[in-house]
């Protein structure tokens, strides 16, 4: 699986819509201060693929940003040359 793009809205530390594209370089690094949302990107990938988060499949409401009413995660990736 090769990540292509992730778009987050109202997810953990991402109140406003943020999009990260991974298709413009072969290697990426997420960097930032504590609480800036680095782990949230990986949590969003896990949530998009499996519907679970670090705390399990229940209490997904905990993933909604405190200032948001809902969350949305879009994750695009390539597998065997096909975009999902």
Give the containing element (helix H, strand E) for 10: none
pLDDT tens digits for 15-38? 999 999 998 888 889 999 998 899
pTM: 0.85
* Rg of the chain, C-alpha, whole Å: 13
pLDDT exceeds cutoff 70 at 57: no
pLDDT tens digits for 6-20? 999 999 999 999 999
CA distance 44 to 23: 18
The mean predicted confidence, pLDDT, of the chain is 91
CA 27-49-71 angle, 5° bins: 100
CA distance 13 to 24: 24
């Amino acid at each position: 699986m090769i990540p292509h793009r992730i778009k987050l809205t109202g997810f953990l530390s991402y109140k406003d819509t943020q999009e990260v594209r991974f298709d413009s370089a072969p290697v990426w690094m997420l960097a930032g201060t504590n609480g800036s949302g680095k782990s949230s990107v990986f949590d969003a990938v896990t949530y998009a693929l499996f519907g679970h988060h670090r705390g399990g499949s229940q209490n997904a409401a905990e993933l909604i940003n405190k200032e948001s009413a809902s969350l949305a995660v879009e994750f695009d990736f390539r597998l065997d040359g096909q975009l999902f």
